[in-house]
């Protein structure tokens, strides 16, 4: 979850503009204090690093461990040198850096000031010894990345290029190919392509597996790195190799990037009765696109909604609050956040008067549903009207704030955690569906040697919202097929079950839809 600032909040995504900072450190036992006008110990060197440390010290969701932070920063610089002859040794009482017979001895404590003085010594040692090989800016950025790596997976440093791209993406437009990608079974694959996009026009299909991008193998990279390779300036080209599982063939493409308007909401009517609304992410365009879907649903005279949040990685907090608000009473609590300090507490409430709160709703979630999608599912689950169907969600219940810092760079920093209205810590538990549908439950049970009926036995007293009903995917497929439903790539078993659960249901009451699924499950013919 992200919010953005430019010293004062601009929009709730996760960024902040230039801030006035200060730094203090200790020399020969005396504590010295410098205002931001004097930040940068040597000719304004390390100004970016100082801003980063101060932001982490002041804004990070947990009190920082300064010893760990500075150790990470120093390790980041040493790794960036990438020279086997540079020896970094750690001892309980001190650490050393050795290069060509010259040794620097330093120690780190839990004090910010002392560690900064040691860090400056290490920085200058590396600048002097590796002049020409390690620029000051390269070392500084390596230190910042090393420091950020000690925090959590969602906090990161963004150079000016990455920062600018991140800001563009939150606007709902970017230069790219028009593909939704995911990591599945340690493979990067296409989830879908957008209408009238370069990817769709080229014939790329859902399920295609990435082999290479611009001649570089993508087998062992993270999804964020692949996304960075696919995006770029409009009218530039990228070469892709993808494997098509249906025939094991390798497909080669040369695509030209275009400005892509992110289509985050897709709508279709199922059997003229149920509106299927799929939300793939939460950008600035999402709520407007959702309102367009509602207008079409009104024309179609649908009687209920399937809100499909599967594989939705999240996005803007403000948009998740708006989306949830359409299905809740006005001023109903959607989510609240807590930061490090007690006063760092915020509530977000539903704001629509003409909502869909009386319309039956089934929400679909998967193990990849995260962040903003968990906020929506959690709020609708807690209110007791929407039935949640699928897998336990990812469990990404933290808020990232993006700060704009010097040189056009940015810092994505975890600043608080969010909770469902009933107080569930999403990071710890995820959103547990009312009806749990798992694809590999039998495999996990066999591997662990636990009787299938007892797989949740140890968790029953600790899991908030323990599922009321558990089904295997193959059972769901039987229910759909026996009821005359169709199964294909666009209409899978989970969607079919949700559709049947809403049949002849006229009120927004989870108990009714849950009982309907129980009846369907009880009639499975083996």
Environment class of residue 455 by beta-carbon count within 10 Å: exposed (0-12), middle (13-18) or buried (19+)? middle
- Beta carbons of 283 and 171 less than 8 angstroms apart: yes
CA distance 131 to 242: 43
What is the tens place of the pLDDT at every residue in 106-150?
999 999 999 999 999 999 999 999 987 889 999 999 999 999 999
> How far is the C-alpha of 32 from the C-alpha of 243, rounded, in Å?
60
Q: Which residues contact 101 (CB under 8 A, 6 or more apart)?
A: none
> 251-264 pLDDT, tens per residue?
999 999 998 877 89
DSSP state of 507: S
Percentages (nearest 5) of helix, strand, coil residues in the chain: 35, 30, 40
Q: Pull the structure tokens for residue 47.
A: 């100004």
404's tokens: 């704009």
- CA-CA-CA-CA torsion for 264, 503, 358, 303, nearest 10 degrees? 70
Question: Of 59, 284, 322, 396, which is the active-site residue?
Answer: 396
Q: What is the pLDDT along the chain (526 residues), one digit of tens a residue?
A: 555 433 322 223 322 222 222 222 222 233 233 333 333 444 468 999 999 999 999 999 999 999 999 999 999 999 999 898 999 999 989 999 999 999 999 999 999 999 999 999 999 999 999 987 889 999 999 999 999 999 998 899 998 888 876 776 666 667 889 988 888 878 899 988 888 899 999 999 999 999 999 999 998 888 878 988 898 888 999 999 999 999 999 999 999 999 887 789 999 999 889 999 999 999 888 999 999 999 999 999 999 999 999 999 898 999 999 999 999 999 999 999 999 988 889 999 999 887 799 999 999 999 999 999 999 999 999 998 899 999 999 999 998 888 999 888 999 999 999 999 999 999 988 999 999 998 754 444 333 443 444 333 333 334 455 788 999 999 899 889 888 877 876 789 999 999 999 988 888 888 888 888 888 888 775 5
Give me the pLDDT at residue 194, please.
85
Q: CA distances (Å), 100 to each of 75, 83, 85, 104, 426, in order?
A: 19, 12, 8, 11, 51
Q: Which sign, positive or negative, has the C-alpha torsion 338, 339, 344, 346?
A: negative
Residue 494, class by beta-carbon neighbours within 10 Å (0-12 exposed, 13-18 middle, 19+ buried)? buried
Indicate the helix (H) or strand (E) that contains 119: helix 112-129
Quote the CA–CA distance of 143 and 350 in Å, as a whole number: 42
For 442, the token pair is: 């039998």
Q: Is 371 a catalytic residue?
A: yes
For CA atoms 484, 490, 493, 496, the dihedral sign is negative
41: left (phi over 0), alpha (psi -120 to 50) or beta: alpha
Collapse the DSSP code of 45 into the 3-class scheme (helix H, G, I; strand E, B; otherwise coil) and give the result: coil
Domains and their CATH numbers in the chain: 2-157 (no CATH), 173-261 (2.30.42.10), 265-400+415-522 (3.90.226.10)
| Full-model pTM | 0.71
**For residue 175, what pLDDT is reported?**
82
Condensed to tens digits (0 to 9), the pLDDT of residues 317-355 reads 999 999 999 999 999 999 999 999 888 899 999 998 877
Is 382 marked active-site? Answer: yes
Choosing from 118, 355, 371, 373, the catalytic residue is 371
- The per-residue DSSP string of 358-398 comes to TS-EEEEE-TT--THHHHHHHHHHHHTSSEEEES------E
- Compute CA distances 477 → 185, 210, 308, 388, whole Å: 22, 29, 18, 18
Contacts of residue 259, defined as CB under 8 A and 6 or more positions apart, other chains included, come to 173, 174, 175, 234
Dihedral sign, Cα of residue 189, residue 264, residue 281, residue 144: positive
Tell me what pLDDT residue 167 has.
73
- Please say whether the beta carbons of 507 and 358 come within 8 A: yes
């Amino acid at each position: 979850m992200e919010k953005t600032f430019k010293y004062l909040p601009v929009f709730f995504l996760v960024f902040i503009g230039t801030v006035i900072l200060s730094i203090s450190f200790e020399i020969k036992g005396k504590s010295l204090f410098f205002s931001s006008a004097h930040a940068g110990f040597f000719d304004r060197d390390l100004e970016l690093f100082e801003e980063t440390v101060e932001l982490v010290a002041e804004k990070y969701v947990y009190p920082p461990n300064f010893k760990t932070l500075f150790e990470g920063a120093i390790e980041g610089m040493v790794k960036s040198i990438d020279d086997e002859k540079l020896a970094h040794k750690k001892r309980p009482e001190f650490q050393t850096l050795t290069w060509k017979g010259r040794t620097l001895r330093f120690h780190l404590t839990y004090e910010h000031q002392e560690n900064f003085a040691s860090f400056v010594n290490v920085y200058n040692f590396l600048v002097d010894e590796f002049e020409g090989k390690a620029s000051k800016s390269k070392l500084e950025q390596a230190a910042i990345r090393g420091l950020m790596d000690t925090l959590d997976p969602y906090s990161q440093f963004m150079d000016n290029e990455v920062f600018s791209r991140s800001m563009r993406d939150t606007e709902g437009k970017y230069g790219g190919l028009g593909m939704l990608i995911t990591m599945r079974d340690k493979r990067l694959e296409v989830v879908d392509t957008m209408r009238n996009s370069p990817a769709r026009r080229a014939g790329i299909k859902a399920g295609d597996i990435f082999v290479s991008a611009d001649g570089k193998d993508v087998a062992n990279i993270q999804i964020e790195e692949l996304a960075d390779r696919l995006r770029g300036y409009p009218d530039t080209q990228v070469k892709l190799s993808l494997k098509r599982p249906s025939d094991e063939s390798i497909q080669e493409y040369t695509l030209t990037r275009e400005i892509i308007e992110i289509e985050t909401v897709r709508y279709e009517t199922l059997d003229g009765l149920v509106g299927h609304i799929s939300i793939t992410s939460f950008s600035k365009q999402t709520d407007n696109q959702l309102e367009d879907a509602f207008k079409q649903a009104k024309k179609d005279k649908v009687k209920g909604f399937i809100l499909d949040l599967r594989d939705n990685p999240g996005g803007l907090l403000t948009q998740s609050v708006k989306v949830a608000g359409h299905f809740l009473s006005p001023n109903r609590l959607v989510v609240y956040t807590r930061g490090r300090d007690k006063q760092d507490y915020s509530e977000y409430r539903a704001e629509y008067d003409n909502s869909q709160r009386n319309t039956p709703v089934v929400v679909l979630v998967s193990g990849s549903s995260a962040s903003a999608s968990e906020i929506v599912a959690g709020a609708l689950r807690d209110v007791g009207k929407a039935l949640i169907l699928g897998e336990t969600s990812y469990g990404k219940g933290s808020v990232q704030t993006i700060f704009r810092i010097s040189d056009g760079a940015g810092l994505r920093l975890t600043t608080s955690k969010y909770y469902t209205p009933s107080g569930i810590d999403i990071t710890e538990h995820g959103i547990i569906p009312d009806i749990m549908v798992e694809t590999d439950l039998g495999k996990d049970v066999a591997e662990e040697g636990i009787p299938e009926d007892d797989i949740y036995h140890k968790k029953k007293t600790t899991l908030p919202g323990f599922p009321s009903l558990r089904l295997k995917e193959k059972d769901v497929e039987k229910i759909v097929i026996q009821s005359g439903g169709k199964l294909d790539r666009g209409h899978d078993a989970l969607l079919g079950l949700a559709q049947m659960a809403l049949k002849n249901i006229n009120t927004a009451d989870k108990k009714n839809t849950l009982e309907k699924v129980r009846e369907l499950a009880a009639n499975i013919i083996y």
